[in-house]
Structure formats: C-alpha cells, structure tokens
Amino acid sequence: MKFLELGSGALGVALGVVVLTMGNRPAELLALLDSVEAQEGDGAVRTVVLGQGIKLPEPLGWVDAVELPENLGIPGGRNAGVERLRELGGVDVLVVLDDDGLLPRTDTFRLIREAFEENPRLGIVSFRIADETGFTQRRHVPRLGASDPMLSGEVTTFLGGGHAIRMSVIDQVGLFPAPFFYAHEETDFAWRALDAGWRIDYRADMVLQHPRTDPARHATYYRMTARNRVWLAKRHLPAPLVPIYLTSWAAYTMLRRPPMSGLKAWWGGFFEGVRVSCPPRRPMRWSTVQRMAKLGRPPVF
C-alpha cells in the first residue's frame, strides 16, 4: 500500500478513490489507474481497488488492493470500499469510478477539490459520462426536460459510474443500500442526502470516459430496476406519493415497449418489491419534495 501524493503535497482536500472490479477488464482497469495517478493538484489520494469475489491481477503497484470473498453487488462493494477508506483514515471526499472508465483530463481531481472547498453544503458531484468520441447518452444526464449534457448545475440524483461524495455526508445519512445489489442505489442515497439538506451538482467539466452500453441487454436489469424502484418508493416517499411514483414508472416502462422477456422480468421484479420489504422506511420531508420539484424533478417521475 502506498499513500500517493499528488502535486506539491500541500494540504488540501484528501480524496479516496474506490474502484470495483469483477476481474474481466484488466487492461481497462490498469488504464483507469494510470489516469488516476496522472491527476494534478495539491492534496493526497488513497486508491482502493476491490475484487468482487475474484483474485485481483498482479501487480497493482501503489493501489490498496482488497479481495472480497464474494460479489457484494455494486452498493455492497462500494460500502466495503468506504469502510476500507475509513480504516486508512484521512479522507475527506470519496470518488467512485467504474473499472472500465478513464479520466481523459488531468485536472479532474483539482476541480473536485475546488468544488468541495468552495461550497460547504455541496454533498455530491456527478461527473459527465462520455464515450471515446465525447458523446454523452441521454440517460447519463441526471435531470428531466434538459438533455444538454454540457449544462452544469444543481440536480436531484447522480451517476454511479463517476461521482464524488463528501465523507461527512456518508457519516450523516449512512451507506449505500446493500440489498439493492444493482440499480437505483445512487437515487436512494441522493434522496437521503437531499433530505438532510445537502446539494448535488452535475459537472460537465468533470468527465469520465466510458464505453457506450445498453444496460437493458440483460433480463437482470429489468428485474432489479423494477424491484428497486418499488423499494425506493417504499423507503423514502411520503405515503400519498408512493402509488403515483410507481404508476408513472410502470406507464413509462410500458411506453418504451421492452421485449417480452424483459417485460416478464420487470413485472416479476415489481411484485417482488411489493412483496418483500427493504427497511428502514424513512419518508422524506414535504419540504424536500418541494425542493426537488423546484429543481425540475419531483419524486413522482
């Protein structure tokens, strides 16, 4: 393990990077770590790579390598990364990066530090995700009714592939929801952070280069997306909004005309979410609902 000093080593916001891997993209992982090591700016970075039930490739050099005994899913793996950073100590901001992503700019970490230093109420920063041509898919713009990926601003959720979270936010609102395993864990965390009064920003100048993919290619996507949407509503929405939220998402899914296999998996996940509980239930305040509505995304869509 090495404590990697960036820039001059002067005091500044200390970053902790967490990368999860299934071991199936070793070349991409090493390229990502090279782009992390190339970041400029003052401060320090601790980087933790977690193998999800696999043996990590050797060598990973200065990285703190952790081999988890099993695949804990995305939120569970991130939680393990947070706990490892807490053990190492001295981290102010968590940075989560996909193992097949890449930081094409060398100033991203400097921009992160500046953002959190300038605004003490900033809790989360969402990166812009773009492919190798610079194109950003519509689903990677975390807001409704404004599809321009180059427009930065305050939002109500964030992107899982590339984001930064103030550690004090995690201390206050808790970890990612491990039972979700995959899908919507970011929204669950974002709603808790918003309800605690924190701000979430989308930054077009903080870029994670990532291959263009379609998550709907897997039946698991449909099942977990539906199940976790129900859990999300049951955990965090005021009671009158739960049926509105779930009805709007069901209608949206039907309008997208998924394949029959996907539709069957979606309804299976939906009813699983209705049948199975995912505590705790902590409904957000109506003032948070109003704040989200003012930001253009009330929690009914």
Both structure tokens of 141: 């713009």
Q: What is the mean pLDDT of residues 203-209?
A: 97
The yes-or-no verdict on residue 6 having pLDDT over 60 is: no
Residues 184 and 226 sit within 8 Å (Cβ to Cβ): no
The mean pLDDT value for 255-277 works out to 93
Query: Other C-beta atoms within 10 Å of 298: how many?
Result: 17
Lowest average pLDDT, out of 115-124, 129-138, 238-247, goes to 129-138
Q: CATH 3.90.550.10 residue ranges in the chain?
A: 4-209
Q: How confident is the model at residue 216 (pLDDT cuts 50, 70, 90)?
A: low
Q: What is the mean pLDDT of residues 264-271?
A: 95
pLDDT at 188: 98
Instruction: Tell me: pLDDT of 242 over 80.
Output: yes
For residue 272, pLDDT beyond 90? yes
Of the listed ranges 1-5, 131-135, 285-289, the one predicted with least confidence: 1-5
How do 15-21 and 93-98 pair as beta strands? parallel
Q: Do residues 269 and 184 lie in contact, with contact meaning Cβ atoms separated by under 8 Å?
A: no
- Nearest residue to 64 via CA among 89, 40, 43: 89
pLDDT at 8 over 70: no
3-state helix, strand, coil in the chain (%, to 5): 40, 20, 40
The pLDDT assigned to 218 comes to 65
The pLDDT of residue 2 is above 50: no
Q: How many CB atoms lie within 10 A of CB 16?
A: 27
* Homologous superfamily, domain 4-209: Spore Coat Polysaccharide Biosynthesis Protein SpsA; Chain A (3.90.550.10)
Question: Average pLDDT, stretch 248-263?
Answer: 90
pLDDT given for residue 146 in this prediction:
62
Taking a C-beta distance cutoff of 8 angstroms, is the pair 113, 150 a contact?
A: no
Distance (Å, whole) CA 238 – CA 242: 7
Give me the count of residues in the chain.
Answer: 301
* Res. 41 pLDDT band, cuts 50 70 90: confident
Number of neighbours of residue 148 by Cβ within 10 angstroms: 10
For the chain, give the longest Cα–Cα distance.
Answer: 57
The per-residue pLDDT for 10 is: 43
Determine the residue type at 96. Answer: V
C-alpha 109 chain-centroid distance: 17
Quick check: 63 pLDDT over 90? yes
Computed from CA positions of residues 147, 299, 203, 217, in that sequence, does the dihedral angle turn out positive or negative? negative
- Is the pLDDT confidence value at 4 over 80? no
The Cα–Cα gap between 185 and 179 comes to 9
Whether 9 has a pLDDT exceeding 70, the answer reads: no
Return the pLDDT at 220. Answer: 86
pLDDT at 225: 95
pLDDT of residue 215: 66
Please state the rounded mean pLDDT for residues 269-298: 96
Out of 34-43, 152-161, 184-193, which region has the weakest mean confidence (pLDDT)? 34-43
Q: How far apart are CA 249 and CA 244, in angstroms?
A: 9
**Percent of the chain's residues with pLDDT above 70:** 94
Q: Is the pLDDT of residue 17 over 50?
A: yes
Judged by phi (left if over 0) then psi (alpha if -120 to 50, else beta), residue 245 lies in alpha
Q: Is the pLDDT of residue 193 over 80?
A: yes
d(CA 50, CA 48): 6
Q: What pairs with residue 65 in β-bridges? A: 49
